[in-house]
């Protein structure tokens, strides 16, 4: 989950941050529990009408979304770059329906699909020429399956020089929508108010939501 924090170095230059495994492990180790433990509100709202199947939870973190899905009948593959987050997620798993998998999508392929739901809730996927990683993720969605991408509205964030990372370096839902071909139907592409207050110290008032369905193949 991408949630940039203010730089405290006292300089005018932004601190260069590499969002690698060490970055995320250190961030999780900085607190006993980094996130609330509740599933993301957009996921709850958008998945309620879907029949459970196989799902890929990108950037599953401590597992709140994956476990919520599993308890509703989904067979979940939860992936994250952080071993610390995955250990915490697995420790709280009483469902037996989640496969916790460490993957660095910048250097490794995603788990093999097809998935009936691919969920990316505030998942920081860095933009790259050719969009190979993004296209690989899109290819894991089964015909008839759903892609759900949620991000913070960039208009809510502080100026660039106040952030550790530049959110504009990462794919936004609208950009993902623009890369979908004719095999997809975009069902939701909008900005909406958050369902719950933003975490303390952040400025996230609105979410950008993309929900798209890969059309079933014609016989």
| 5 — pLDDT class (breaks 50, 70, 90) | very low
The pLDDT assigned to 99 comes to 97
Residues 184, 214: contact at Cβ < 8 Å?
A: yes
pLDDT in tens, 35-82: 766 899 999 999 999 999 999 999 999 999 999 999 999 999 999 999
pLDDT in tens, 139-150: 999 999 999 999
Distance separating alpha carbons of residues 115 and 136, to the nearest angstrom: 13
The pLDDT assigned to 29 comes to 85
Of residues 32 and 189, the one with the higher pLDDT is 189
Res 13 pLDDT > 60:
no
The pLDDT assigned to 156 comes to 62
Mean pLDDT of 199-210: 78
Distance separating alpha carbons of residues 67 and 63, to the nearest angstrom: 6
The pLDDT assigned to 202 comes to 63
The pLDDT assigned to 120 comes to 97
Residues 58, 118: contact at Cβ < 8 Å?
A: yes
Domain boundaries, the chain: 41-214
Q: What is the homologous superfamily of the domain 41-214 according to CATH?
A: Vaccinia Virus protein VP39 (3.40.50.150)
∠ CA 188-205-176, nearest 5°, is: 35
pLDDT in tens, 156-194: 666 554 446 677 788 999 999 999 999 999 999 999 988
pLDDT in tens, 92-126: 999 999 999 999 998 999 999 899 999 999 998 99
Residues 173, 212: contact at Cβ < 8 Å?
A: no
Burial 117-134 (b: 16+ CB within 10 A, else e): bbbbbbbbbeeeeebebb
* Nearest alpha carbon to residue 137 among 175, 108, 163: 108
DSSP annotation string for 145-156 = EEEEEEEE-GGG
Res 137 pLDDT > 60:
yes
The pLDDT assigned to 199 comes to 63
The pLDDT assigned to 34 comes to 67
Q: Is the pTM above the cut of 0.75?
A: yes
| 32 — pLDDT class (breaks 50, 70, 90) | confident
Helix (H) / strand (E) element for 71: namely none
């Amino acid at each position: 989950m991408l949630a940039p924090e203010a730089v405290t170095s006292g300089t005018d230059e932004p601190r260069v941050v590499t969002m690698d495994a060490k970055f995320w492990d250190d961030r999780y180790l900085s607190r006993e529990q980094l996130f609330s433990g509740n599933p993301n509100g957009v996921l709850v709202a958008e998945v309620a009408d879907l029949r459970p199947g196989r799902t890929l939870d990108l950037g599953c973190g401590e597992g709140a979304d994956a476990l919520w899905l599993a308890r509703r009948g989904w067979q979940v593959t939860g992936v994250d770059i952080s071993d610390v987050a995955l250990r915490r997620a697995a420790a709280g798993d009483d469902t037996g329906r989640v496969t916790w998998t460490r993957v660095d999508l910048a250097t490794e392929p995603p788990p093999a699909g097809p998935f009936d739901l691919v969920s990316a809730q505030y998942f920081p996927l860095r933009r790259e020429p050719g969009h190979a990683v993004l296209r690989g993720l899109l290819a894991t969605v089964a015909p008839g399956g759903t892609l759900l991408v949620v991000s913070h509205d960039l208009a809510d964030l502080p100026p660039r020089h106040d952030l550790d990372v530049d959110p504009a370096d990462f794919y936004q839902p609208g950009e993902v929508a623009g890369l979908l071909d004719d095999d997809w139907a975009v069902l939701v592409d909008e900005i909406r108010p958050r369902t719950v207050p933003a975490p303390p110290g952040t400025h996230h008032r609105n979410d950008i939501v993309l929900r798209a369905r890969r059309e079933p193949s014609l016989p």
